[in-house]
Amino acid sequence: MMCVRYRRYLEKSKALLGEAERDFQAGCYNKTVSAAWFTVETLLRAIVLYKGRPMPEQPSKLMSIIHRIILEEYPHVKHLIPMMSSLYEKRKRADHRETLFNRDHARRALEQAKHIYSELISMLTPHL
């Protein structure tokens, strides 16, 4: 069962990255920022499942678990922690504040998500 959920999260993460790219091309910059974060969040959930850890509902608790996993087991990607936190903060501003993201800000958020996605997927590749 865990393996099925894990793979579904991986598939969803990839789909969300495609949606973020399409949102960006369509000029939907706030949606781009949100989808960029959700790309990463979904991949983080896959990692939590793979590691057999309990799945938190709140993104802040998810981030806390991921920070521990990275620092304990994957220290070579610890540089991603501030990137993930930054992207999460952008998503909160896009969805819950008066902030309107422009093309440049959305592009940077999308690039962050792609970078995080790429590094985390390569980290997981031996286990796919």
Band (125; pLDDT cuts 50, 70, 90) = low
In this predicted structure, what is the pLDDT of residue 79? 96
Amino acid in position 72: E
- 95 pLDDT exceeds 90? no
* pLDDT top residue among 30 and 127: 30
Q: Which spans in 26-127 are helix H? A: 29-50, 59-73, 80-96, 103-124
- 72 pLDDT exceeds 70? yes
- 127 pLDDT exceeds 70? no
Give which of 104, 126, 119 is closest to 39, Cα–Cα.
119
In this predicted structure, what is the pLDDT of residue 75? 93
- Please tell me the pTM assigned to this model: 0.90
Q: What is the C-alpha to C-alpha distance for residues 9 and 70, in angstroms, rounded to an integer?
A: 19
Residues counted in the chain: 128
Domain range list for the chain: 2-127
Burial of 69 (0-12, 13-18, 19+ CB in 10 A): middle
* Domain 2-127 top-level CATH class: mainly alpha
- Residues 6 or more apart whose CB falls under 8 angstroms from that of 2 comprise 49, 50, 52
In this predicted structure, what is the pLDDT of residue 33? 96
In this predicted structure, what is the pLDDT of residue 94? 83
Q: What is the C-alpha to C-alpha distance for residues 126 and 55, in angstroms, rounded to an integer?
A: 22
Task: Share the mean pLDDT of the chain.
Answer: 92
